[in-house]
């Protein structure tokens, strides 16, 4: 049976996923004006620094960030914001555990932060969130010279964002500076119901969809996220000897497809092209990867990438990835209820060194009955026309 390319719509990627399961307890709906904890400021593309920040006299984003009280709300009105400099939420300008400071799209509107004026440079990010206890909601960040959104703080929620066409990883977690001690690496952040696509650097080696790599702490979670058509990997959890192990990351109920090839067909031979890249430099980190789909990525679907740890790899589905759907050459990872299938793309047999029992169905040259459907909180099937249909929380998503 031939399958068609899986193209997901923005409504599916940014809107539907969090609502389709009751497990998204940390995900919240768009805040209303009455929910502002301390004060409210309004920002618009035509706002000015000195304006009051009311609906009739909107201010700029940088001015609003400098003026908002902890627990307050900044609303971005719809439209395109042409920006040339990184927008930084500075370290120390925190919300609180009981009242995050909110930076949100105005209800029903779409703000697009466009950094096309930047050149490709590690100094030219889009939004740099170095504070803690913030909630970013409903923003599109595109064409930055480096990361679209960079998170250096902790206890933040990044929800229903789109990071696209940036010149490094779309959304990345990492330390604020080289002098930041490991005890202050970003921890306990939630990235939920967000999309990252078509991010590409000039050498093709670094621009992933999502990344928590090199210098991140514990408790970071990606949930109901979609990464597709990035030049390198869908997710990157790379570690290196110079900085040592990162904290364990959880990736759940998420989808990675088409990575290694941009939407316009562009490829770069230097790209790793994996769906979920889970390590590096033979450093053990016990990540949790569950209820995820890797579909037609340009290399492996799920790969340990030299992580010899004991990862929890459960209820995942790998479909038609170019080489292996599951590639784990060493370590003591535990595999349960994982499924590997091939319909239209030939590839190598899976390799799963670790604890894998009979609940799994890995690829060994043949398909079994479970490759025509998969049941559970996150499922998939092929329609009679060959289209991949994905199910979240019992509801069918047909991109």
Active site residue 277: yes
338, exposed or middle or buried, with CB in 10 Å at 0-12, 13-18, 19+? buried
Question: What secondary structure does DSSP assign to 315-380, as a single string?
Answer: S-EEES-SS-SEEEEEEEEEEES-EEE-SS---PPPEEEEEE-TT-B--SS---GGGGEE-SSEEE
Q: What angle do CA 274, 276, 279 make, to 5 degrees?
A: 100
Residue-wise DSSP of 74-91? EEEPSEEEE--S-EEE-T
Phi-psi region of 369 (alpha: psi -120 to 50; beta: other; left: phi over 0): alpha
Which conformational region is residue 173 in: left (phi greater than 0), alpha (psi within -120 to 50 degrees), or beta?
A: beta
- Tokens 């003026």 found at: 67
Q: Strand 395-397's sheet: what is its strand order?
A: 373-374, 378-382, 388-392, 395-397
Could you say which of 110, 213, 277, 351 is catalytic?
A: 277
Task: Count CB neighbours of 15 within 10 A.
Answer: 14
Backbone angles phi, psi at 275, to 5 degrees: -75, -55
Question: Do residues 259 and 297 make contact, with C-beta atoms less than 8 angstroms apart?
Answer: yes
Spatial separation of the C-alpha atoms in residues 392 and 378, rounded to whole Å? 5
Straight-line distance from the first to the last Cα atom of the chain, in angstroms, rounded to the nearest whole number: 19
Helix (H) or strand (E) holding 67: helix 61-67
Nearest C-alpha neighbor of 222 from the set 194, 262, 186: 194
Which token pair is 279?
């390590």
Residues belonging to the active site: 277
């Amino acid at each position: 049976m031939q399958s068609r390319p899986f193209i997901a719509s923005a409504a599916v990627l940014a809107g539907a996923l969090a609502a389709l399961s009751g497990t998204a307890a940390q995900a919240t709906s768009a805040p209303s004006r009455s929910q502002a904890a301390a004060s409210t400021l309004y920002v618009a593309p035509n706002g000015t620094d000195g304006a009051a920040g009311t609906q009739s006299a909107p201010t700029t984003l940088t001015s609003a960030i400098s003026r908002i009280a902890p627990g307050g709300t900044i609303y971005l009105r719809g439209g395109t914001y042409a920006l040339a400099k990184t927008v930084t939420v500075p370290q120390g300008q925190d919300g609180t555990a009981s009242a995050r400071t909110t930076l949100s799209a105005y209800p029903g509107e779409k703000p697009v932060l466009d950094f096309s004026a930047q050149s490709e440079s590690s100094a030219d990010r889009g939004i740099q969130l170095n504070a803690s206890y913030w909630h970013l909601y409903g923003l599109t960040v595109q064409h930055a010279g480096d990361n679209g959104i960079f998170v250096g703080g902790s206890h933040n929620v990044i929800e229903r964002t789109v990071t696209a066409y940036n010149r490094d990883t779309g959304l990345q977690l990492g330390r604020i500076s080289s002098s930041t001690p490991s005890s202050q690496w970003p921890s306990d952040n939630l990235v939920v119901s967000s999309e990252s696509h078509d991010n590409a650097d000039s050498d093709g080696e670094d621009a992933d969809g999502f990344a928590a790599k090199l210098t991140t702490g514990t408790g970071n979670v990606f949930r109901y996220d979609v990464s597709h058509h990035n030049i390198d990997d869908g997710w990157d959890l790379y570690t290196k000897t110079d900085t040592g192990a990162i904290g364990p990351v959880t990736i759940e109920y998420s989808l990675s497809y088409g990575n290694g090839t941009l939407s316009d067909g562009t490829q770069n031979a230097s790209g790793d092209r994996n769906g979920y890249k889970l390590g590096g430099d033979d450093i053990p980190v016990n990540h949790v990867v569950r209820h995820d789909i890797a579909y037609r990525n340009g290399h492996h679907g799920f790969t340990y990438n030299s992580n010899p740890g004991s990862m929890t790899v459960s209820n995942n589905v790998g479909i038609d990835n170019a080489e292996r759907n599951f590639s784990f050459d060493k370590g003591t990872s535990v595999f349960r209820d994982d499924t590997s299938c091939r319909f239209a793309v030939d590839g190598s047999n899976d390799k799963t060194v670790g604890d894998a029992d009979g609940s799994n169905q890995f690829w060994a040259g043949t398909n079994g009955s479970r490759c025509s459907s998969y049941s559970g909180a996150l499922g998939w099937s092929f329609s009679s026309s060959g289209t991949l249909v994905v199910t979240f929380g019992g509801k069918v998503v047909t991109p």
